[in-house]
Amino acid sequence: MKYLFKAEFIDGSSYDQHPEDLPLAGYGNGSSFTDINERVIDGEVKTFSLIGDNHIWLVDLIDGHFEVDGLKFEVNTEIINKPLSNYRLIYFRRTRQTNVLNSQGESISHSSEIVGYRFGWQANDQDGKNYQQILEIN
């Protein structure tokens, strides 16, 4: 995998993605994200980073800023122009899947490759309106 994630939690603990995207024992067929999904849902993530290709991409879920290699920036905050709260992580990988079928339409091979990583946040204003900021790294 080109990028591995690291989640830092409000309580000071952290979680580093397994290099083969395997979950800790007991989760069966899940991924490393399975290990932290409940904490993501519960809003316990403080920062979330994608690390690889000699770069560190980070989203801060306390105030919504992003960082690349420690340089802080914000994305399109002027269009929101309202105080936001309840920042929640958005993270997923875009994949390309290829299936080779025989003349009977049966799959004879299958491959999957990651073509992009998307991460960012969603948050709410005082009226409950939802806003999102997402970056994609290829």
Q: How far apart (Å, rounded) are the C-alpha atoms in residues 13 and 24?
A: 16
Whole-structure pTM value? 0.84
pLDDT score of 112? 64
Q: Which amino acid is at 61?
A: L
**Residue-range definition of the domain harbouring residue 19:** 4-137
DSSP string over 111-123: EEEEEEEEEEEEE
Residues near 47 by Cβ (< 8 Å), separated by ≥ 6? 7, 8, 58, 59, 60, 61, 62
Provide the number of structural domains found in the chain: 1
Tens digit of pLDDT for each residue in 80-124?
778 899 999 999 988 777 777 788 878 787 766 767 899 999 999
Average pLDDT estimate for 58-80: 87
- Whether residue 135 is predicted with pLDDT greater than 80 in this model: the reply is yes
Rg (CA), the chain: 18
Provide the CB-side half-sphere exposure for 3 (13 A, CA): 23
